[in-house]
Copies of this chain bind each other. A is one copy, B any other.
Amino acid sequence: MPSPKPPPASPDHTELQFYEALQQGDLDRLMSLWADDEEIVCVHPGGQRLVGSEAIRAAFDAMFSQGAVPVYPEQVRRVQTLDSAVHSVLERVQTLGPDGEPHTGWALATNVYVKTPLGWRMVCHHASPSVTRELAEVTEQPVLLH
Contact surface of A with B, Cβ cutoff 8 Å:
35, 37, 39-41, 43, 45, 47-55, 59, 77-79, 81-84, 86, 88, 90, 108, 110, 112, 114-115, 123-124, 126, 128-131, 135-141
Contacts and interface: CB of A to CB of B under 8 A. Distances in A.
A86 B123 contact: yes
Given A49-B88, A51-B77, A86-B123, 9 more contacts: A41-B86, A45-B128, A49-B130, A49-B136, A54-B140, A55-B140, A79-B112, A79-B123, A86-B112
Contact of A137 (B49, B79, B108, B129): B49
B114 A59 contact: no
B110 A39 contact: no
For the complex, would chain A's binding face be called helix, strand, loop or mixed by DSSP majority? strand
Nearest to A111: B110
A123 B54 CA distance: 29
A77 B37 CA distance: 11
A6 B53 CA distance: 38
Contacts of A82: 82-83
A109 to B, nearest CB: 9
B138 A77 contact: no
Given A79-B114, A110-B43, A51 B84 contact: no
Contacts of A51: 77, 88, 137-140
